[in-house]
Amino acid sequence: MSTRSIVILGNGITGITAARNIRKRSDDDRITVVSGETDHHFSRTALMYIFMGDMTYADTKPYEDGFWPKNRIELKRGWVDAIDTTATRLTFSNGDSLPYDELIIATGSQPNRLGWPGQDLQGVQGLYSLQDLESMEKLCPTTKRAVIAGGGLIGVEVAEMLLTRGIAVTFLVREKSFWGSVLPEGESKLVGREILRHGIDLSLQSEIQEILPDAAGRARAVKTKAGDEIPCEMVFLTAGVSPNIAVARAAGVECDRGVLVDEFFRTATPHVWAGGDCAQHRTVPAGRRPVEQVWYTGKLHGEHIAANICGESLPYQPGIWFNSAKFFDIEYQTYGTVLPKPRDGEQSFYWEHPDGDKSIRVNFRGDTGELVGVNVFGIRHRHLVWEHWIAAGTTVTEAMSDLGAANFDPEFFRQYEPEIVAAFNAAHPQSAATLRTRKGLFTRVFQRLFKSASPRGAVAVSAMTP
């Protein structure tokens, strides 16, 4: 293959994964990664840790700076103004231009601005880029209270960050309960309690009417739809993100919400590919969404683009959905599909620890008992196990019996499988499970000696009270 010039727009996880994987496959291609945000790839997911002083910016770079020249991946800093898809050339805001043979658009997303009056005032921002963090650093010293509008993962991160600077936080959430569009009621309330426990003023069913300016053009208060006026010096817009596609759209690359791509991540324009947060699948993979803005899908997209650009034919099959997050001190993992309300024909089992900070929800089909999805809060579970169970159509009874195999908590942590399975058996006696536990050496020797009648490797817990 002759030497091609592959230009990647965006040095986030998608662009960088594509660059690395193209280099793995091809020694000849010239690879250039363009970013206006930073010189080097860093982990956007760690922005909060930079702000809180857990890590420095340098710590968030997954590769040492020498990695790029060593792998002949050229890094170009600059904002792209326009893409000329007929002349196959990029134009930068400083007038530079860069020709390409293949172009990968991986421009990520931008915080939603839903058209509130005052949303462009100083002190109103989202949290997505390093520049957002810099602006926070600049304004926080003169901020006593901040309003966060939009209850999602980024909002919780911002709240946690602000608390470490002694800034009071009012959290405005449109829904009846926190992240209620994604989480079922039990989990949503659990997270709500965690937010309150950290001293956040959580205001449910509350929305911004407008953001009021002071004389200098900085936000001074938020007016809610209920008519309250909340004095504040900063406003964070965290009602989700949307694909950052202005440049692609202006270049005539076919877009809907995101840049439209086929299962090989080709856009409608020749020699232009797209992936990551900014891409939208024309054909939505089973059990997935058209636009998925999470870290690992960005990585998967990058891997697929690299394979396809190098002549392989690798269609996108992302498999079972999974995700994770942390709400202050409570970790959350989800595998498969768990909607706020179970779909028709689905049953939902929910267990919550009396402390209210640990829970598990297992959704399954009412007729066959096949697993559909799981939410876990405050307990770590094993990705591999749930992925296998859900993909293989394992029944809820089987999964409950082997629940210990899914536990990923550290050693010495209390395990709640007996309680969970007992509660499950009480709620679903027709699907009752017997929890299998691994026997220690002494038990096995003891059993051997006294020829215990109980079956090997099994212990009944159904008699336990839930």
Partner 1 sequence: MKDLTANLAYESHSLTPGGHRLAPLEQLGLALCGVGFMVLLAGYFTASDVSSGVRAIWLGLAWGGVVSGTLLYGLHKHLSENAGVRNHGKTTESLTARGALGWILAVLLTAFYVVLYWFPEMFGGITRLHDPLSQALRGRPADHWFLYGTAYTVGTTIMGAKALAKYRHSRYQVVRTLVIMASQLVMAYLLPGFLASINQPEAYLTYFWPLAYENLFPGSIQGLMNRGAFGTFVVAWSFISIFVATPILTYFYGKRWYCSWVCGCGGLANTVGDSFRQISDKSLRAWQVERYTVYGVLVFIVLVTGLLWLEPYMPAYMHEPLYMLRKTYGFLIGMVLAGVVGVGAYPLMGTRVWCRFFCPMAAVLGIIQRFFSRFRITTNGGQCISCGNCSKYCEMGIDVRSYAQRGENIVRASCVGCGVCATVCPRGVLSLENGPTEDRLKGYTAPTQPVITKSVKRVAMR
Number of chain residues interacting with partner 1 (CB under 8 A): 80
Q: How are beta strands 5-9 and 102-105 bridged, if at all? A: parallel
**What sign results for the dihedral spanned by CA atoms 245, 251, 254, 260?**
negative
Q: Which of 264, 328, 337, 340 binds partner 1 (CB under 8 A)?
A: 328
Q: Name which of residues 71 to 110 contact partner 1 (CB under 8 A).
A: none
Smaller CB distance to partner 1: residue 269 or 293?
293
Q: Does 353 bind partner 1 (CB under 8 A)?
A: no
In sequence order, the 6+-apart residues with CB closer than 8 A to the CB of 412 are none
Task: Report if residue 64 touches partner 1, rule: CB under 8 A.
Answer: yes
Q: Does 21 bind partner 1 (CB under 8 A)?
A: no
- Considering only residues 178 through 197, tell me which ones interact with partner 1, judged by CB under 8 A: 197
Min. distance of Cβ 117 from partner 1 in angstroms? Answer: 21
- Which residue lies nearer to partner 1 by CB, 169 or 211? 169
Footprint of partner 1 on residues 387-416 (CB under 8 A)? Answer: 387-388, 391, 402, 404-415
Q: Nearer Cβ to partner 1, position 271 or 388?
A: 388
Residue number, 88 or 143, with CB nearest to partner 1? 143
Q: Which of 8, 39, 1, 5 is nearest to 301 (CA)?
A: 8
Q: What tokens were used for 82?
A: 């326009």
Distance, in Å, from the CA atom of 245 to the CA atom of 116, rounded to the nearest integer, reads: 21
Least separation in angstroms between residue 88's CB and partner 1 is 32
Residue 179's CB is within 10 A of a number of other CB atoms, namely: 22
**For residues 141, 235, 121 and 79, what is the CA-based torsion angle, rounded to 10 degrees?**
90
Asked if 49 and 146 count as a contact pair (C-beta separation under 8 A), the reply is no
Compute the least distance from the CB of residue 199 to partner 1, in Å.
Answer: 6
**Contact status: 307 vs partner 1 (CB under 8 A):** no
Contacts of 232 (CB under 8 A, 6+ apart): 143, 144, 145, 146, 147, 170, 219, 220, 221, 222
Half-sphere exposure of 354 (CA within 13 A, CB side): 2
- 460 in contact with partner 1 (CB under 8 A): no
Binding residue for partner 1 (CB under 8 A) from 319, 345, 393, 466?
319
Contacts of partner 1 in 133-172 (CB under 8 A): 137, 140-141, 144-145, 163-170
Q: Which of 81, 101, 175, 201 binds partner 1 (CB under 8 A)?
A: 201
Cα torsion 240, 243, 244, 245: sign: negative
Contact set for partner 1, span 202-261 (CB under 8 A) = 203, 226, 228, 230-231
